[in-house]
Structure 1
Amino acid sequence: MRKTIAGTAALTLLSGVSLQASIADWKTAATIGVTPAATYFIEDSGSAVSGAAPQSFSIGDFDGSRSFELIVNAGNAGVSSAVLGLTGVQALKFEQYDSTGMIGITNYGVADHISTAPSPLNEEAQLVFTSDGADTLLYVNGELAHTFTGVPLQLTGTVGLGAAMDDAGGAIGDRLDGHILGFTSYASVLTPEQIETHYQALIKDRKPVYLAAWQAAVGAGPVTPAQTLFQTVSGMAPALLNVGELDGPRTFEFITYAGDAAASGALMGRGGVQGLKFEQWNNSGTVGLTGFGVADYDSGIASPFLTVAQVAYVSDGANTDLYINGALQYTFEGAPLSLTGYQGLGAAGNITEAGGDIVFRDPLEGQVLRFASYDRALTEEEVTAHYTGFAADAGAGNFTAWQTAVAAASPTATRTEPAAGADGVTVDVGPLTGDRTFEFVVNSGISTANGTLLGGNAQALKYEQWNDTGMIGMTNYGVADYTSPAASPDSVDTHIVYSSDGTDTTLYVDGVLQHTFTAAPLTGAGLQGLATAAGLPVLGATYFDPLDGHILGFASYADALTPAALAAHYKALTEGSTAVPPSGGFQITAFSRDAATGAITLTWPSAAGETFSIKYGTGTADFTGTAVASVPASAGNST
């Protein structure tokens, strides 16, 4: 029986962190300078395309050069998944067969080609496959990630979008565990500059989310969760989870990202008992609660589709309150939560006490990214505090301002999604030679013998140097362990920078120079382990010496950032200031003093027409005097 029962509505405030915010800017950039052969833009063309509801789509007719650009947010359920594919011909794989964790290309009946680029899981990512008719280049988030030598793109005409399918729209396989938010095809090879421009447009207004901060908030109390799951569960591969033996008041809290392709999607539930609906039956577009065989309770509150959102159901044993992104949205009157013990997560599970197969129903068209259950009703203040940690600054001060400061210094690589030592994550720091800088925003404990910020086959940067030293360090494997006098902060948000001129390495903690590792330059380049050291063969990785915590933000640079730039980055993180001096710009290159007259001469590089004001002081506290109002720069030389 299906029946809709009214309740009491509260403030509707969907102030979540939207991952779609920059799609419009990307759409504009993707159509400037080169005309696409075909496009699929969310909202213009329809809903996001998902593996649950892939589309047969005409990408254009090609012969020779072509490029395919996709904006994707997907997980890794299943052994293989395609963003674009034609059965019997070719598929572009978000994850290559068999659960490799890497992007690839499949020429059906010929070969599976695996790249060295990891699938960018559960984040809004730009993928570009571009071919000159002989080879195919793969770009991930604006950066060249791999070359498929001797493997040209072959797709043309009508193909599957969100899965591989035949030209009639049948024989569907390799379904994507997620969504395609935008697609463009071109009858030419996109240039690296065009691809980078498209990516910068995509991330222009992106607001990051901080799952590690939510996890920390959940564990901070004052109530200990009955159960937590700090990993992703997809509606394409639902899980069975024991939420705890609950009786009376209880709370179920989710961080989720899901779409609207299904008629009904459950975050969690048990057949014959109750389902917590991300979207209530039948394509209602609203969040709900179902008592199976009793009633469908519809909140009338819009489901936060294609947005990383916090959804919490809080019951006092008589009614259930619905919170979205920290704000009370609705009260399901007379409908308390009744779920206890084993439940389906990512779907409702029909579970028999005597065992046997579990049948999942109402699968979520997306992912539950994180989950926690509690054996009491959380207060509104507690729910809001959890959301604030997840959506604001990861407990790391003005994190968004820090990102702006980092971007101004032209990094070779950045990561703002938290990396946990327990997870094993790789990051491509760029093809660095000579000077380089690695910058971290980190929160870690020191309960293990040692913990790594960044590490590969030859070198590791140690948050705590071996063996329980309690000090930050650096290791050159097979050569030496270098230990600084700087103590490893215990479970405190910390800004740490290693900067090298190719000869020595300087260590900065919270914007202040702490130590110089003499004759120990940084050598890390290309793929490295993040929040862990990694032994990195061509495919896969072996992780060791993990960090006892999380890296909340990371950036690498192809030069040695100046002390002033690093201090400004720290200031941005802690105070929100984004005024950052150029990393390689204004520098005094020579200084001299005439012993007879006391005249001081300063020299610095400058461009013709620039003017400079020189401030001075008689002490170190302030510089209030102006020596010269303006110094005109000579024609392209030194001033």
Structure 2
Amino acid sequence: MIACAGPLLVGRLLGQVPLENYDAVIAADAAAGVLPVASLTSAITLSGSAGVAFDFGALSGDATLEFILEGDPSASDSSFLAVGADPKSSLRYEVWSNTGELGFTQAQVADYQFAPGVPSPARPTHLAYVWDPATATMKLYRNGKLAGTVAEVDPGFVMPAGAGWLGVNADGTEAMTGVIYRVTAYDTILDEATLQRHSDAFDAEVLPAVNGYDAAIAADMAAGLTPVATLASTVILPKTGQTSFDFGDTADDVTIEFILKGDPSVNNSSFLAVGENFQSSLRFELWDNTGQLGFSQGAVADYPFTPGVSSPQQPTHVAYAWSAGSATMSLYVNGVLAGTTTNVDASFAMPRGLGRLGLNESGGERMAGTIYRVTVYDSRLEEAAVLRHARGFTDVLHPPVITSFTTTAAHLLPGSSATLSWELQSTKKLSLNGVDVTGRSSVTVSPEVTTPYVLTAWNDVATAESRLTVYVDPNLAGYDAAIEADAHAGLTPTARLAQPAILTGSGGAPFDFGPVAGDVAIEFIVEGDPSAGVTSFLAVGENAESSLRFEAWYETAQYGFTLNHVEDYLFSPGIPSSAWPTHLTYVWDSAGLVMTLYVNGRRAGEAQGVGSGFAMPAGKGWLGANPDGSEAMTGTIHRVTVYDDPPTPEAILRHATAFLGAARPALNAYDAAIDVTAAGGKAPIARLLAPVRLDGTGGAPFDFGPAAGDGTLEFILEGNPDASSSSFLAVGGNSDSSLRYEVWDDTQELGFTLAGVADYQ
């Protein structure tokens, strides 16, 4: 029997976090065939000076490691969570150095932090590290929800397996301070529904709020408001067998408070509470598929509330308050009156004595969900008391809220600045594009190019994000003048876009490409975000079978073009989709079936053997999206210039130079210098002709050419070595050799690496 008649026990020790439900769900899954290969079933306390030996079992390949834990990331600047027989691969409670975030490590390669970052939990939390070696991707789930991802993990990484350690490095250093309550290891990738079910059994997100409710009830007890019965531990429904509860000796006016959640779709009706007077009952869902709370008097009526009150599917404080004299039931949701029922049959009474939670007296009409608390009073509580109790719960459970995120200027000229401002609620930690801005309400930015900004707020319950983009409009006067000058000289375009088309990823912009056919060239000045989707259109005409792509299918992050039902074409060498304003020229040779792409005036790549059905966009069509609005681009197309007879390479370079000379004079001068050197006999074998933006979550594809023996690689770059402890600059077909933007580990220095041999500074 689950009951606590009389004094309520509050101030639960951390060692009493409710683990029995989690253990029961793990056992039930094991009985159904989802077997862990290893498990920790009793809590271990870590003092920061040592760890605990643990055998992770025969994990290999796909793996899922679940933890229930809490800790103190401020106790050190780095701490291990788990390491197996291979000491080079480890999971980290706090990634080095003083990041305050969860992660994992491949020694002498990288310390990996998740995107977005996931704070090291200071309260009891359910975590699941899910490793997919086929895609080299680690996902982290916090309290059942995907919290962060790392892609392109080093192929040498493996999940902890065999004899190893919890909470410390294999050599006894970098020890964690905290408590690990449970570890459950699976030699497979658990699906999200299973992870959510395991997390729900623990319900870490609700624990602080339930403790707040317990404190409110205890405070009122000290002041003389004493319940006659309480449920002080969580019940997950439905349960096999009985879920008994003693509602105490009540009569006439009664208030029963619940903290609960459930799923009304599981059955067509479900009981919430019934006592020894089983003709009267409270219902989680009234018969028949109403999806509403209510109550019943057997053989008389099912009573809904006015207005109707939905059965709560998220943790909620609910109070049924019965006034026998007026035959009226009032229902409060999170402390606020939500519905009332009058003229109730005189035989109705609130549940009393020994009864059940979540099913009827015969064991049927079972509720699916969780009841965290029940508190019974032999009186009708004042509304202020109900609100006080509810707020003990809800005030703790609030997720962070970003009430506003604004910019003083949505569009800037190069060199200008804008102020980003925000207003928040219930936030403990705040970052802007991964940089900690906790405690601030605004930041002034001066982006060189169009830049998306992501504001991320955290607290112990959840995270929240808000996004905006500050557009930097390049200087296009030089380009426009060059097009006009060539038009007067006889190189006349058939169509032009003279105003920017801003594309948000939810549709395109109409554009008439003119009556072009056969050999055609289309110039663009474009910038965008290839990470915003898996593919995106750049241009499509009346013939929707042929299209130009800002990002070729599927997640290539490369320019391309498509002939439907034939092929998605990439260029050789591959050309990364640019996040900076870039001059592109697609040149189509209809006789040779060859597409050539020029980037900032230089020939960058071509595609040969194109299907004979391909044609360049013509007539009325769209920029930045499919004709139906799908596969939409995120970014800005500043200019489009269409020619029904392709310009010469010299004219293309002239147009690009007119653009780049005004928009990026330093890069334009560099490109010109490389051209001069090439004309003198030192031609490069590969060039990146437009900048790529790197956000720390992935790289950009690049073909370095057939280099062998002696070689020189030039870069123009900038970066943030504080963003991680190690980062690649370039790696080719031989992945054992690489150039590093930052040599491992937090050296803040350039270098290069031969895997398994040395990191060279």
Category of TM-score, reference length = shorter chain: 0.3 to 0.5
TM-score, normalized by length of structure 2? 0.32
TM-score, normalized by length of structure 1? 0.37
Structure scoring higher RCO (CA < 8 A, sep ≥ 6) equals 1
| Structure richer in helix, relative to its length | 2
